[in-house]
Chain A
Amino acid sequence: MSNVEPIDRVKKMDRDGNYFVPMGHYALSNSKNIHLTHNPKLSIYGLGSCIALVLFDEINKVSAMSHILLPRSNTNKEIKFPHKYANLSVKLLMEELLNHGALRGNIRAIIVGGSKIFDFDNNIMGFDNTSTVKEELDSLKIQIIKEHTGGSKGRNVFFDTKDYSLYVKSTGERDFKRIY
């Protein structure tokens, strides 16, 4: 594990001790190493065409969420925010979990997002994001145990690392619903 702290990992908790993941960033919670029984929620408010990717190992108590914007990078330049891209984020997030003691065979995935807010024909960003994340997970043999994707509404989502449950609220709905 490198000593350099990645710039795109969210370390700052909000007042309630939860992580809020901005675009192109990720958050990780490793409950095993924390003596205090603190189980943060990992959340993204206002998902449109972006994807919230949750990877977790329930047995080793490690979970992470990334906020993906685009299917894949098309630049040769140095990429400062790899979690912007589906093709990079999936791999990196898995490696982070493994670095923090997760076992490859235990890792499960949940994906949320990828909607089409503005309804014009060539707006396939959300769809592209979703399918690329799925392909990448598939190539790493990570099982997707739940997805809440597509549609035309924005979503708020949070993952509770206490019991590995996931809640979603689509725009227009009043309350969060547990989907996993």
Chain B
Amino acid sequence: MNNDYIKSEGFQLTPEQLDVLKEIGNIGSGHAITALSKLLNYEIDVSLTSAEIIPFWKIVDLFENPQVEIFGIYSEIHLESDLSIIQIFTKESLINLIKYLNEDFNLSADKIRIIEDLDDLSLSIITEIGNILSGHYANALADFLSIKLIPNVPIVALDTLNAMLNGIIAKYSQISDYLVLINTKLAMKDIDLNCVICFIPSLNILENLFNLLNIKYDINL
């Protein structure tokens, strides 16, 4: 029976438990994406959600091109413990999205090297997109688990994925050498948009989750 566990010393999850996390990711991202799709009036392709348990130093390996500059929209949710949602957009994606929503915007992606190169309107468009995605994600989770989840106003940054994840990984790796990441990839052909919604629950949240759902767990903190 022990063979069913994905062993990572002090932190074990069964394939069934990972499936539950995947499902939670599906529910959250499903609602978030529906909201975005309604706002933009376009269909959005969602590839499957993945749930992984991974040592902190290997997290950057999960993503393609961690050295490329990307837009990251980061929101935190404080419950009794923490969870984070970070939305990762390629630079071109988000510029396309701004252009679609604001016809006056005419800067090309390679003209934008730092976040300050964007005007206030564009920045608030990005923040709002982030708000919609993380808000609906959190709402769906809250409904599903009958708990209260209120995300902070998201913060936008333009940097390499590596640098961006640094602080977030650091925060969660204080309690464990392993982190759980629930990633959903989405794409939109019409606007040429590529995004990953990355949901990072703290280990305390996982315990709460499994408790609420009446699933046996053995997270040995």
Chain A interface residues toward B at CB < 8 A:
22-25, 45-50, 69-70, 74-75, 80-81, 84, 115, 117-120, 123, 125-126, 152-156, 171-172
Closest to A23 in B: B57
When chains A and B are docked, how far (Å) is the Cα of A35 from the Cα of B60? Answer: 35
Task: Please tell me if the beta carbons of B57 and A22 are within 8 angstroms of each other in the complex.
Answer: yes
Task: Please tell me if the beta carbons of B166 and A49 are within 8 angstroms of each other in the complex.
Answer: yes
Task: Please tell me if the beta carbons of A115 and B173 are within 8 angstroms of each other in the complex.
Answer: no
B125-160 interface mask toward A, CB cutoff 8 Å, 1 = contact, 0 = none? 000000000000000000000000000100101111
Residues of B within 8 A of A70 (CB): 170, 173-174
Task: Please tell me if the beta carbons of B67 and A47 are within 8 angstroms of each other in the complex.
Answer: no
B210 within 8 A of A: no
Q: How many A-B residue pairs have CB under 8 A?
A: 102
Task: Please tell me if the beta carbons of A155 and B163 are within 8 angstroms of each other in the complex.
Answer: yes
Main secondary structure of the interface of A (DSSP, over half): loop
When chains A and B are docked, how far (Å) is the Cα of A49 from the Cα of B169? Answer: 10
Residues of B within 8 A of A23 (CB): 56-57, 166, 169-170, 173
Task: Please tell me if the beta carbons of B114 and A48 are within 8 angstroms of each other in the complex.
Answer: no
* Chain B contacts with A in 55-95, Cβ cutoff 8 A: 56-58, 60, 66-67, 69, 72, 74
Task: Please tell me if the beta carbons of A119 and B157 are within 8 angstroms of each other in the complex.
Answer: yes
When chains A and B are docked, how far (Å) is the Cα of A69 from the Cα of B177? Answer: 12
Q: Among B58, B60, B152, B160, find the residue whose CB has the most chain A CB atoms closer than 10 A.
A: B160
Q: Tell me whether A171 and B69 are in contact in the complex, defined as CB-CB below 8 angstroms, given that A49-B170, A125-B171 are known contacts.
A: yes
When chains A and B are docked, how far (Å) is the Cα of A58 from the Cα of B174? Answer: 34
Q: Among B160, B167, B175, B177, find the residue whose CB has the most chain A CB atoms closer than 10 A.
A: B167
Beyond known contacts A48-B164, A70-B173, A84-B173: 12 more, CB 8 A cutoff: A45-B160, A46-B67, A46-B160, A46-B161, A46-B166, A48-B163, A81-B57, A118-B164, A123-B167, A126-B167, A152-B157, A171-B160
Q: Which of A46, A69, A80, A120 contacts B162 (CB 8 A)?
A: A46
Residues of B within 8 A of A25 (CB): 57
Interface size on B, residues (CB 8 A): 31
When chains A and B are docked, how far (Å) is the Cα of A172 from the Cα of B171? Answer: 25
Residues of B within 8 A of A69 (CB): 56, 166, 169-170, 173
Residues of B within 8 A of A24 (CB): 56-57, 173, 177
Q: Tell me whether A48 and B60 are in contact in the complex, defined as CB-CB below 8 angstroms, given that A80-B177, A117-B159, A172-B113 are known contacts.
A: no
Chain B interface residues toward A at CB < 8 A:
56-58, 60, 66-67, 69, 72, 74, 113-114, 152, 155, 157-167, 169-171, 173-175, 177
Task: Please tell me if the beta carbons of B163 and A115 are within 8 angstroms of each other in the complex.
Answer: yes
Residues of A within 8 A of B173 (CB): 23-24, 69-70, 84
Residues of A within 8 A of B113 (CB): 172
When chains A and B are docked, how far (Å) is the Cα of A23 from the Cα of B60? Answer: 10
CB distance from B91 to the nearest CB of A (A): 12
Task: Please tell me if the beta carbons of B177 and A75 are within 8 angstroms of each other in the complex.
Answer: no
Residues of A within 8 A of B161 (CB): 46
Residues of A within 8 A of B69 (CB): 171-172
When chains A and B are docked, how far (Å) is the Cα of A126 from the Cα of B60? Answer: 19
Residues of B within 8 A of A154 (CB): 159-160, 162-164, 166
When chains A and B are docked, how far (Å) is the Cα of A153 from the Cα of B116? Answer: 12
Task: Please tell me if the beta carbons of A120 and B167 are within 8 angstroms of each other in the complex.
Answer: no
Residues of A within 8 A of B152 (CB): 120
Residues of A within 8 A of B159 (CB): 48, 117, 153-154, 171
Residues of A within 8 A of B114 (CB): 153, 171-172
Q: Among B56, B113, B157, B159, find the residue whose CB has the most chain A CB atoms closer than 10 A.
A: B159
When chains A and B are docked, how far (Å) is the Cα of A126 from the Cα of B171? Answer: 11
Residues of B within 8 A of A118 (CB): 72, 74, 155, 157, 164, 167
